[in-house]
Amino acid sequence: MPLILAEHLTKTFDAAGHDGSPVTAVRDVDLSIDAGEFVAITGASGSGKSTILHMLGGITRPTSGRVMLEGVDLAKLDDDALALVRRRRIGFIFQRYNLLPELSLLENVALPLVFDGMKESACHKAAMEAIESVGLAPRASHRPDALSGGEQQRAAIARALVTSPAVVLADEPTGALDTVNSRHVIDLLSCLVKDRGQTVVLVTHDPATAAAAGRLIRVIDGRIASDTLVGDADERAAASPARTVVR
Amino acid sequence: MNRLGLLVRQWRNRPGRVIATVASVAVAVGAVVATWLSADASREGYRRLAESIEGVPSIDISPRETGRWDGSGVPKLIDIPGVRAVVPLVYKPALLRSEERRIREVAVGVDAGGLVDAGFLKLVAGRACEGPDEIVVSRTLADSLDKSIDDTLLFLSRRGGYRTMKITGIADTQSLSALSDGGGVVIDIEALGELTGVRGLIDRFRLVLRPGASRQAVLAAVNERLPETLHAIVPAGRASMAHDMLNAANLGLDFVTALTVAMAWFIVGNAMLMNVTERRRAFALQRVLGATSRQISRTLFFEAAAMGAVGAAVGAVGGILAAGPIAKGIGRAIRAPDFAISYNPWIVVGAVLIGPAVAVLAAWWPTRQAAKVDLLESLAHMAPPPENISWKLVTTAAVLWTLAVGILLAVVTGTLPPRSAVPAGIATTLAFIATTPVVLPLLARLLAGLVPRPWRIEGALALEQILRQPVRTALTTGVLVVAVSNGVGLGHAIRDNVDDVLAWYGKALKADWMLLQAGALGVSRETSPSAGSGLVEEVSSIEGVASVQPISIAIGSAGGVACVIVARDMPAKEQLPLEAVGMSDDDLRKIVDDGGLLAGTALAQRLKVKAGDEVTVSAFGRTIRAKVAALVVDYTAGGTSLFLSREAARKIFGIDSVDALLIESTPAAAAGLREPLQAVAKRHGLLLQSHADLHATMDRIINGIVGALWSILGLGFIVGSLGVANTVTMNVLEKRRTLGLLRAVGMTARQVTRLVVIESLLLGLSGCIIGILGGIASAWFIQLSSQPLLGHPVSMSFRPAVILSNLAAAIAITAIAAWLPARRAVRLDLLDSIAAE
Ligand SMILES: Nc1ncnc2c1ncn2[C@@H]1O[C@H](COP(=O)(O)OP(=O)(O)OP(=O)(O)O)[C@@H](O)[C@H]1O
Ligand SMILES: [Mg+2]
């Protein structure tokens, strides 16, 4: 059973167009992601990448089609149950604006556990572990605005990991970072996949970032244009694409 | 850290927002507490004022047809709520002698001992009289006769002989006159009967009411129990008109209080709305991270309750402090220096308990919005979507309008009591506010067109901000709408009512001096010491007297309703003392000259008669059917009065007394008349009152009422302005980012300030215009609803001064309110504001 199974995903935004006409951002997307995969979704701006990711993560509901996560149909869950899925099974990372400025790094990272009603000491311990794993332990008590963009993004990764989610969904996590910091974030995600078998789905514009993934999905105009398995990242230079499916 | 910790962090991160929200609650609660206390104080003040003028509120029971009776047929009344005592009274004009002086005085027969014990009759010296040989005299009389305790007076008995009576007590004049309608000596009721041959008969039972008891309610309850032959009436007197003014003023107080509560709602509602919407994005992010909507709403309700409790505590204390000076002002206005608000410590406790509930209720809608927030909002760099005017709002407005008009119609037609106009007035104001989001865009656009050309960009941006958030804008302007409509509405209503009474007063009692019959009304038939034209001639012959007009006043009934019958002639040339409804002065003069009967509007209203209808009128044992020739605006006995010429009164009822004498002096002689008139008054046992005395009394009433209402209104305005200031501040705080961005792209600090001030002014002006319309509507409401009280329409005037002063105040307030936060916004670090999130 795949970890994530999306069937006929379609998303239409009402009256979003300039003339008030509905915009179909995603059309009839089928997607299956197994545990341990590192998937990169690329495509032009406005092609529907983020929308796909949001539907996979239960942030928005598809207009039609369905998403199964670990065999559970997200469409069948009510808002509260969906919140629970987001809280426990999914880790989100965004381009920016995703740390609460009034909280310290540690508190930001602990947030999903706080919503889960976990005891303070346990929260603290788990959050500290997650922060250590992204190498920010010395800054744990700092406020986000005292950190660089790269550090903030690493903190966001720690927050995504703190609940040991089934899948990490990242929307242009390196979009706001320079090359060095981007590298750092990508390495971190690659390590997660390799060392922990963490499933990661990442949306990006950046070819270098996409290259780190084991599977590349190109989206054009709301449809999946190509879904390429690039094999092990280390062999990528030598090997030609192992499997190419062109639709 | 737990969820509470998260909340506390948010507070610490934005103390400004927390303080502004708590301050809003405090201002709102403070306003309600202060208004409530001051309104209570005003009511108490009005009551005291009325009491000081007319004595303790009371009701008299007497036979419908005859004069004295044996007191039979009166059922038990003391158990009626509000009745403090039931006192039998006998009035008897008497002749007293002290050495060579002979004095006419009205003797009152009561159980003096009982009354002194109960505190109704205050003695300044000595003790109550007992038996046939003792007497209590008023202090004024004692002073004028130079008598003190244990001195004696001679009392001319019926048999012609003098009886020597010992003065055992000296009564406080005010207290005695309140009890006896101007009587000067007190004798035991049985002894007086013995002495004057009316043994076993009494004139009336007087029901003394408890302070604060509703006279109308007691009257109704008493009339319910009385047999056909007896009736209960409010003692006629010069104080009744004060009562009618007070009725209108009390209605006004109810209005102010209720509108302040409404205003408080808007302030709290708006504060809660802004407090929440500012954090929408943060809530959306929390939901993405797995918070359920219930968690978010619980946190927000908890926060609202906490802020509500703190704000309410602060506000209650502030309100109490603010009410102090207002009560002092009222005390000064009614000249009662010891007048103070009764502070009830429970107010603070109550406010602290109710505050959180109110805050949670006010936070309900914004919280639900926040909990439902679109998760994408947190991810996109997207401003919250513009609010749409929902059909719900329009429906609400329509329902409120219907409700208001429905209640008003019911009040005007008499189906509902006048007080129901208060909720109707509130409904109108709310309807105005609910209509605000619909008309505001149009109004704001129009006003934005007036922005001077060089400031067009700022104007356009300001307009954009306003149009984007119609709900919030409506709430902000709502505060102003209430403040302004309060000011305009009450300003108009109060002035109109006061003017109405003053106009009547000026006409009806136009005289330099008045001589009033000190004895009770209604007994004059028997042996009025000053009956006939002897007195008129005596006064006319005094040098300096230009004209003398006698008036008889008697108590009778019309169509079964107790009323006052006034007999007076209409002057041939001068302005008439009465104003007819829908009739010229000449016609009225002719009707009176022809012996026609006029009915006061309140009486006509109660009997449901119009001009031309027939009524049954009884007085002094005679009952006739007569046609009501015309209706007149009158405040005698609250307008339950009948008028006819003296000659007609003499012919029909045999009324020939002189109960009041209006005296006009020749120019410049007015002051010099005091001495000779005082002498006449003494001789005939009359009360002399000068125009100046009367005017002072009137002024006192009016200043008391108007002063109290204005101070409460002023309070409302201050609160309104605090509310606006707070809202604008929060607006600016929330728009830090936008303003920072504008500056980053090249707007100067001055332009940003201007933008904020223009936005605030557009809001203020729109609110004002709607508020003025609302105010005129509510003035009209008060007017229409006091119509059943007065029985005639009070003409409504348009007062540009009231409107302009309200407008100016509101504009000044909004401009100043915007200035400070605008300055703040400009001083923000550019980087800070861009990074703020
Ligand atoms: N909340 C929304 N309301 C209306 N239209 C939307 C909304 N979100 C996205 N869209 C539209 O849907 C389409 C796809 O948007 P989406 O954000 O998925 O694109 P994207 O591929 O992520 O682009 P980018 O690379 O710029 O982030 C766009 O045309 C966008 O305008
Ligand atoms: Mg995107």
The tens digit of pLDDT for each residue in B338-356 reads 666 666 777 778 888 888 8
Task: Estimate to the nearest angstrom the gap between the alpha carbon of B297 and the chain centroid.
Answer: 43
Supply the residue whose CA is at minimum distance from atom 14 of ligand 1. A48
What pLDDT shows up at residue B531?
Answer: 44
- Name the closest-CA residue to atom 22, ligand 1: A50
What's the gap in Å between the CA of B783 and the closest CA on chain A? 50
Read off the pLDDT of each residue in B523-533 and give the average, rounded to a whole number.
39
Asked which of A27-41, A188-202, B298-312, B724-738 is least confident by mean pLDDT, the reply is B724-738
pLDDT at B677 over 50: yes
Compute the average pLDDT of residues B782-799: 64
Residues 263-302 of B with CB under 8 A from A: 281-282, 285-295
What average pLDDT does range B661-685 have in this prediction? Answer: 78
CA B715, CA B335: separation in Å to the nearest integer? 22
Distance A46 CA to ligand 1 centre (A): 5
* Mean pLDDT, chain B, integer: 76
B522 pLDDT tier (thresholds 50, 70, 90): very low
Instruction: Give B349 to chain A, closest Cα distance, Å.
Output: 34
What is the band of B748 on the pLDDT scale with cuts at 50, 70, 90? confident
pLDDT of residue B168: 93
What pLDDT is stored for residue A235 in this prediction?
A: 47
Q: Which residues contact A90 (CB under 8 A, 6 or more apart)?
A: A57, A58, A69, A165, A166, A167, A168, A169
- Cβ pair A83:B291 closer than 8 A: yes
Residue B174 Cα distances to A204, B112, B121, B170, B335, angstroms: 95, 16, 9, 12, 16
The sign one gets for the Cα dihedral B742, B744, B747, B749 is positive
Closest Cα to atom 27 of ligand 1: A45
**What secondary structure does DSSP assign to B281-346, as a single string?**
HHHHHHHHTT--HHHHHHHHHHHHHHHHHHHHHHHHHHHHHHHHHHHHHHHHHTT-TT------TH
Q: What is the ipTM of this complex?
A: 0.82
Q: Does B379 contact A at CB distance below 8 Å?
A: yes
Residue with tokens 């201002």: B27
Residue B616 forms beta bridges with which residues? Answer: B625
- Do B426 and B400 meet the contact criterion of CB atoms below 8 Å apart? no
Q: Residue B449's CB: how many other CB atoms inside 10 A?
A: 10
Chain-centroid distance of CA A121 in Å reads: 28
B12/A87 CB distance under 8 A: no
Residue nearest to atom 28 of ligand 1 (CA): A46
Question: Of ligand 1's atoms, which has the minimum distance to the CA of residue A47?
Answer: 21
Q: Is A22 in the pocket of ligand 1 (CB under 6 A)?
A: no
* Residue B778 scores a pLDDT above 80: no
| Domain at A4-76+166-239: CATH architecture | 3-Layer(aba) Sandwich (3.40)
Q: Which of A10, A12, A13, A59 to mutate to test the pocket of ligand 1 (most atoms within 8 A of CB)?
A: A13
Under 8 Å CB-to-CB from B419, ≥6 apart: which residues?
Answer: B251, B254
Q: Two tokens at B770?
A: 């709607």
Give the DSSP letter of residue A235.
Answer: G
Closest to A169 (Cα-Cα) out of A139, A199, A149, A131 = A199
pLDDT for B409 beyond 70: yes
Exposure b/e, B515-552, CB count within 10 A at least 16 = b: bbbbbbbbbbbbebbbbeeebbebbeebebbeebbbbb
Alpha helices in chain A (DSSP H): 49-56, 79-89, 105-115, 120-133, 149-161, 179-191, 207-211
Domain definitions of chain B by residue range: 1-54+253-379, 66-228, 519-684
Q: What is the pLDDT of residue A38?
A: 92
Q: What is the pLDDT of residue A27?
A: 92
Q: Are A26 and A50 in contact (CB under 8 A)?
A: no
Query: Distance, in angstroms, between B419 CA and closest chain A CA?
Result: 49
Q: Please name the residues between 91 and 120 in chain A that touch chain B, using a CB distance below 8 Å.
A: 92, 94, 97-98, 100-103, 107, 110-112, 114-116, 120
In angstroms, the CA B32 to CA B182 distance is 43
Q: Does B15 touch chain A (CB under 8 A)?
A: no
Pairing mode, if any, of strands B622-633 and B597-600? parallel
What H or E segment, with its residue span, contains residue B663?
Answer: strand B660-665
Which chain A residues touch B833 with a CB distance below 8 Å?
A: none
Q: What is the pLDDT of residue B760?
A: 82
Q: Which ligand is nearest to the CA of A43?
A: 1
Q: Residue A242's pLDDT is what?
A: 40
What DSSP string runs through B433-492? HHHHHHHHHHHHHHHHTTS-GGGHHHHHHHHHHHHH-HHHHHHHHHHHHHHHHHHHHHHH
Residue A33 pLDDT level (bands cut at 50, 70, 90): very high
Strand pairing category for B58-63 and B83-98: unpaired
CA distance B472 to B486: 21
Higher pLDDT, A196 or B722: A196
Question: What is the reported pLDDT for B507?
Answer: 67
Does residue B166 surpass a pLDDT of 90? yes
d(CA B278, CA B276): 5
Going by pLDDT thresholds of 50, 70 and 90, the confidence category of residue B701 is low
Contact B423, B258 (CB under 8 A): yes
Over the stretch B287-300, which tens digit does the pLDDT of each residue have?
888 888 888 888 88
Mean pLDDT of all residues in B800-808: 78
pLDDT at B561 over 70: no
Element of type H or E holding B391: helix B391-412
Beta bridge partners of B628: B597
How does pLDDT run across B200-234, given as a tens digit for each residue? 888 788 888 887 677 777 888 888 888 888 888 76
Query: What's the pLDDT score for residue A245?
Result: 43
- B599 close to B609: Cβ distance less than 8 angstroms: yes
Q: Does residue B572 register a pLDDT over 80? A: no
Ligand 1 nearest-atom number relative to CA B374: 1
Paired sense of beta strands B101-110 and B185-188, if any = parallel
The per-residue pLDDT for B278 is 75
Q: What is the pLDDT of residue B530?
A: 40
A75 or B10, greater pLDDT: A75
**Is residue A69 within 6 Å of ligand 1 at its C-beta?**
no
Give the closest-approach CA distance of A115 to chain B in angstroms.
Answer: 5
Can you give the pLDDT at residue A231?
A: 61
Q: How far apart are CA B432 and CA B398, in angstroms?
A: 10
Q: Are B434 and B457 in contact (CB under 8 A)?
A: no
Q: What is the rounded radius of gyration, in angstroms, for the C-alpha atoms of chain B? A: 33
Q: Inform me whether the pLDDT recorded for A220 exceeds 80.
A: yes
Q: Is the CB of A51 under 6 A from ligand 1?
A: yes
Which pLDDT tens digit goes with each residue over B104-157?
Answer: 677 888 888 888 887 778 888 899 998 888 999 888 778 777 888 999 988 887
CA distances from A50 to A55, A186, A222, B601, B835 (A): 9, 18, 10, 78, 24
* pLDDT tens track for B36-65: 887 777 777 766 666 655 556 678 887 776
Question: Does the Cβ of A47 fall within 6 Å of ligand 1?
Answer: yes
pLDDT class of B591 with cuts at 50, 70, 90: confident
Contacts A26 to B, Cβ<8 Å: none
Starting from the edge strand earliest in sequence, which strands make up the sheet with A215-220, in order?
A90-93, A167-171, A199-203, A38-43, A215-220, A223-229, A243-246
Is the pLDDT score of B581 beyond 90? no
Higher local confidence (pLDDT), B488 or B637: B488
Q: Which two tokens stand for residue B835?
A: 């990074």
Question: Do strands B614-619 and B162-171 pair parallel, antiparallel, or not at all (unpaired)?
Answer: unpaired
- Identify whether the C-beta of residue B59 lies closer than 8 Å to the C-beta of residue B552: no
Does the CB atom of residue B376 touch ligand 1 within 6 A? yes
What is the pLDDT confidence band of residue B169, given thresholds at 50, 70 and 90?
very high
Confidence of residue B685 (pLDDT cuts 50, 70, 90): low
Q: Is A45 close to ligand 1, i.e. is its CB under 6 Å away?
A: yes
Give the pLDDT score at B242.
Answer: 53
Spatial separation of the C-alpha atoms in residues B447 and B468, rounded to whole Å: 16
The pTM of the whole model exceeds 0.80:
no
The most confident of the ranges A4-13, B46-55, B195-204, B559-568 is: A4-13
Residues with Cβ within 8 Å of B462's Cβ and at least 6 positions away in sequence, in order, are B448, B755, B756, B758, B759, B762
pLDDT in tens, B390-401: 677 778 888 888
B837–A97 C-beta distance less than 8 A: yes
The position carrying tokens 């059309």 is: A27
Structure tokens at A194: 């390799």
Judged by CB atoms closer than 8 Å, whether chains meet at B281 and A111 is answered as: no
- Structure token digits, residue B296: 């978010």
The whole-angstrom separation of Cα B21 and Cα B569 is 66
Residues in CB range of A201: below 8 A, 6 or more apart? A4, A33, A39, A41, A53, A56, A167, A168, A169, A170
Q: Which residues of chain B are within 8 Å of residue A159 when distances are taken between CB atoms?
A: 289
Least confident of A15-29, A57-71, B9-23, B518-532: B518-532
pLDDT at A189 over 80: yes
B795 pLDDT exceeds 60?
yes
B562 and B637 in contact (C-beta within 8 Å)?
no
Encode pLDDT of B102-111 as tens digits: 776 778 888 8
Top mutation candidate among A26, A49, A94 for ligand 1, by most atoms within 8 Å of CB:
A49
